[in-house]
A and B are shown apart, each in its own frame.
Chain A
Amino acid sequence: MGARAPRRRAPGDAPLTAVEGAATFPSRRDYHDAVSRLRDEGFEMCLDLCAVDYLSHFGRRLPPEVSPERFEVVVQLVSVSGRRRVQVRVQVPESDPVLASLWDLYPGVEAMEREAFDMVGIRFAGHPDLTRILMPEDWEGHPLRKDYGVGRVPVQFKDAPGPR
């Protein structure tokens, strides 16, 4: 047996994002300006942008001033010169899933925003080519949404009742 294992995080512990303190939560209106300011502060690269559908985990822990919405777009910026990262998380409501595109600040988000649109259905205003990127052109629905039916293949056992 090795040394005693260090303590794991328990379900009641503070959420990791609060511990790390590296995330900012701008409102949807400020989002573009906030990222623009961060870029001026030296965050030269936008490494990742993804969207999360919080439909069935609505009560996630957020800073008190942020009111949760169904969708969240998460942007990872990095400062190559300062060797720092920052995370920008913005809430996007279900009724109007539109967000300003970062394409004019970071042209590299083009494919990532297309993926977020394709998979979760966030519409990025100002994106030059907002088409589906992974799914076929005529696909309906956004597969990474939580209410997207995945379907299933019935497993056939001998003498089994038909697919339920």
Chain B
Amino acid sequence: MSEHDMGSGLVQETYEGSQELADRAQTSPEELRRERGAVLRLPEGGAPGSSDVDVERTGDDSMIINLGPQHPSTHGVLRLMMELDGETVLRTKPIIGYLHTGMEKTGEELTYQQGATNVTRMDYLAPLSNELVFALATEKLLGVELPPRAVWIRMLLAELQRVSSHLMWLATNGMDLGSTTMMIFGFREREMVLAFFEKTTGVRMNHNFIRPGGTAADLPDGWEDDVEVICETVLRRLETYDELLTGQPIFRERTEGVGAITAEEAMALSVTGPILRSTGVAWDLRRDMPYLAYDEVDFDVVVGTYGDNFDRYAIRLNEVRESIRIIYQVLDKMPAGDYRVQDKKVTPPPRARIDESMEALIHHFKIFTEGFKVPEGEVYVAVESPRGELGCYLVSDGTAKPYRLHVRAPSFVNLQALPVMLRGGLVADAVATISSVDPVMGEVDR
């Protein structure tokens, strides 16, 4: 505790007003224009007039309802306050924080060695991406260079993670549109990937496998066969999904033109990932700012045209195919060698060495009791998670614990696009649109 603590008025009364969506009678016209005005202000003269946002409307014919936080289609504890006119959505406000557990604060209390166990719990559908970005940030501060096998193992896992996350999305999105078949299919295929993760890392999620300095272990014997089976099966089943959903008139009617967003709006709202690509902006960090060894593999960035729910569906479906294409190349090119740096200050020594070397025992003890010290500095590292740009801003003060750990969670930012996407649509479509944003509340609230 410092001398700043008492009596300096730092802990202020901080009631800053309600987070809820205010009644129309208490809302200014500027506020009513916000969902469109904020975004459309960018091109000069594009600000909406009063006719665009019916500011003349009184509050009598509209009502405000809560969707969530305990609604099955909100994918967790997301609460949406919507102003409705009959079935039409006029305004929306996402209210979040129900799953906030202070993980960024917790991260300041854990050593870099332990940190991966914390970040992996943020995006629980793509835990390996979180571990990856944390490990990359720590390694950048440390200045260690990974052996090639560690890099390629990470790429393999990250792409398998994308496959499993997108399959999960296909399942839940199918569910939201009434296709329970798709839900069962998606979970069935995802299970194969999770089984491989369990074989490799020991657990189905929250793996703590990608750690600063490499990975926790090497891939298990016979991993090539497992991965090949996964790839073949998923590729074959994707054809089934195409048959089930892509060409199906009901599905197309429910998704085409629904929840549309333009490229300008998406970029103004800092939206990344499949939502940004669905508007036609080909922005994928794997290609545009390569990390790991993505510049050595061949793949396409899938983009859409209309920015609607169907484009987002098609993009995720085809990104699974692209991921499998990358995985096949990883199978061919996986180098031999070590799966972590042999730097005794960063990674623990092999178990066998501890029995024969006092020095190894000391290193092991130091790493697990004190952790390793990371030189001072600040670093921002970003990777392409299945949901968009996943960034990690890490500040080190030279000790073994991060001074500040900030995670730029893609879902947190992408949720801002919801009011724009839902505006003027129907409540029934809102459910599909929420799903197409693919929010993971663990990551939104951290």
Contacts and interface: CB of A to CB of B under 8 A. Distances in A.
B338 A9 contact: no
B329 to A, nearest CB: 23
B445 A134 contact: yes
A147 B446 CA distance: 21
Interface in A1-19: 1-11, 13, 15-17
B14 to A, nearest CB: 6
Contact of B404 (A2, A52, A83, A133): A52
B328 interface: no
Contact of B268 (A107, A131, A142): A107
Contacts, number: 185
A150 interface: yes
B377 A16 contact: yes
Contacts of B446: 134
Interface stretch (A30-38, A39-47, A155-163): A39-47
Given A107-B39, A137-B15, A137-B19, A11 B346 contact: no
Interface string A75-94: 01000100101010000001
Contacts of A107: 38-39, 41, 268-269, 416
Interface string B4-18: 110000111111111
A57 B397 contact: yes
B281 A80 contact: yes
B283 A111 contact: no
Contacts of A48: 380, 391, 393, 406, 408
Contacts of A147: 1-2, 4-5, 10
A15 B374 CA distance: 11
Interface residues of B, number: 74
B143 A9 contact: yes
B16 A8 contact: no
B289 A83 contact: yes
Contact of A46 (B100, B270, B376): B270
Contacts of B338: 2
Interface in A65-109: 74, 76, 80, 83, 85, 87, 94, 103-104, 106-109
Contacts of B341: 5
Contacts of B295: none
Interface in A118-159: 119, 121, 128, 130-150
B321 interface: no
Given A110-B416, A140-B11, A133 B97 contact: yes
Contacts of B13: 140
Given A53-B404, A137-B16, A147-B5, 15 more contacts: A8-B345, A9-B143, A13-B143, A47-B382, A52-B406, A85-B289, A112-B270, A121-B12, A133-B19, A133-B96, A137-B19, A140-B11, A141-B14, A144-B104, A147-B2
24 contacts: A2-B338, A2-B342, A7-B143, A8-B144, A9-B142, A10-B375, A13-B375, A48-B406, A50-B406, A55-B2, A60-B378, A76-B380, A85-B289, A103-B38, A107-B268, A107-B269, A108-B270, A111-B415, A112-B270, A112-B413, A121-B10, A134-B100, A137-B19, A140-B11
Interface of A: 1-11, 13, 15-17, 44-48, 50, 52-53, 55-57, 60-61, 74, 76, 80, 83, 85, 87, 94, 103-104, 106-112, 115, 117, 119, 121, 128, 130-150
A-B residue pairs, 8 tightest by C-beta? A108-B270, A9-B143, A16-B377, A2-B338, A107-B38, A57-B397, A48-B408, A134-B97
